[in-house]
Structure 1
Amino acid sequence: MQFSQVLQALGQFANGIAPRGRAIRPLEIDLDEANAPSPFEQAAIGTWKTEDGAILIDLRPDGQFHKCKPSAGAQHRGRYAVDRSKLYFEGESGWVALGKLKRGRLSIGEKQFRKA
């Protein structure tokens, strides 16, 4: 049976079980929303800084991060991934870190960050 015949058969089946007064709409999928960030990713995106402002981390929507220490002139880049309230960081030089997002605070090791 060809694919088009299967679809036609499914359409006839759906017509048989659908309520009579209702029109059947085709399936609509918004591909833009399929790639939209999850609520956890949305909460993580943005610029984070320590209380003393010594470290800034910019988490971008494309999964990249930029970390800088203005006083030392140091900068690091890499990528991150969000798994619910946990953030996994991997720097360009190969270092890895685990962060936790809880109640508007980001913890990475002993460092605490707040959104700037």
Structure 2
Amino acid sequence: MQISQVLQALGQFAAGFAPGSRSIRPLEIDLDGGSGPTPFEQAAIGKWKTEDGSILIDLRPDGQFHKAKPEAGATHRGRYAVDRSKLYFEGETGWVALGKLKRGTLSIGEKRFRKA
């Protein structure tokens, strides 16, 4: 077999792998999140408070949270994400925090929260 025939055969073979040679089908991604929250997200959703009641956190199903310190009259908002037992918080002013959910207790820094 001549070299030109080998190159021609390789060219035909490689053409089957070229990006334009296959039909393109649309991605099948459900952006509505119809499957509902994961078990970890379900465990995190709800109202949480410290033992002394000084801080209240409402973790909403839409990934938003509301934090209140009733005695100080302060409120904060932001968003959160759940990755298994870890929760990542980002406040509206840009602060970030890491929370851990273990055995019904949410720990954020030195603070411990229980479901209200």
TM-score for the superposition, normalised by structure 2? 0.72
Pair 1:100 & 2:100 matched: yes
Query: For residue 68 of structure 2, what is the amino acid of its counterpart?
Result: C
Runs of 4+ residues over 3 Å off in structure 1:
none
Unmatched segments (≥5 aa) in structure 2: 1-21, 24-29
State the Cα distance separating 1:64 from its structure 2 match. Answer: 0.1
- Identity, % of aligned pairs? 83
- The one-character-per-residue Cα deviations of 1:39-79 (angstroms, maximum 9, x if unpaired) are 00000000000000000000000000000000000000000
Other-structure match for 2:84? 84
SS where residue 49 of structure 1 aligns?
strand
SS where residue 72 of structure 2 aligns?
coil
Unmatched segments (≥5 aa) in structure 1: 4-28
Other-structure match for 1:44? 44
State the Cα distance separating 1:32 from its structure 2 match. Answer: 2.5
Matched length: 88
Pair 1:72 & 2:35 matched: no
SS where residue 32 of structure 1 aligns?
coil
Pair 1:114 & 2:106 matched: no
Query: For residue 32 of structure 1, what is the amino acid of its counterpart?
Result: G
Other-structure match for 1:32? 34
Report the aligned-residue RMSD. Answer: 1.7
State the Cα distance separating 1:101 from its structure 2 match. Answer: 0.1
TM-score for the superposition, normalised by structure 1? 0.72
- The one-character-per-residue Cα deviations of 1:74-114 (angstroms, maximum 9, x if unpaired) are 00000000000000000000000000000000000000000
